[in-house]
Amino acid sequence: MLIDLENIIDQREKERPEGAYTTYLFEKGVDKILKKVGEEASEVIIAAKNRDQEELKWEASDLLYHLLVLLREQELPFKEVLNVLQERHVQKENK
């Protein structure tokens, strides 16, 4: 699912369809994308602190989306992040 979303974001970055929110983010640049990642992270924290699962699932979704946009802007494939998580898992199992 996240790989599918990454592919959609990649396509939007390349094609820049008019009126698309993803296009807006890429056109505004890294500062806007970083601001959104920070905002969404804060909203996730607040939702979790309030123990509001409905709000948390929406805010977590927003955070993941904006994080994937940031990774694309930085030209860092999501697969590389997954590889780091896999390496950490393997290292813990080998201890």
Q: Are 74 and 9 in contact (CB under 8 A)?
A: no
Residues 35, 29: Cα–Cα separation, whole Å: 10
Express each pLDDT in 51-91 by its tens digit: 999 999 999 999 999 999 999 999 999 999 999 999 998 87
Mean residue pLDDT of the chain comes to 96
Q: What is the pLDDT of residue 55?
A: 98
Pair 67, 37: CB distance under 8 Å: yes
Q: How far apart are CA 55 and CA 33, in angstroms?
A: 21
Could you tell me which residues come within 8 angstroms of residue 73 by beta carbon, excluding any fewer than 6 positions away? Answer: 13, 26, 29, 30, 33
pLDDT over 90 percentage in the chain = 92
CATH number reported for the structural domain that contains residue 13 in this entry? 1.10.287.1080
Domain count, the chain: 1
**What residue numbers bound the domain in which 10 lies?**
2-93
Of 21, 28, 29, whose CA–CA distance to 65 is shortest? 21
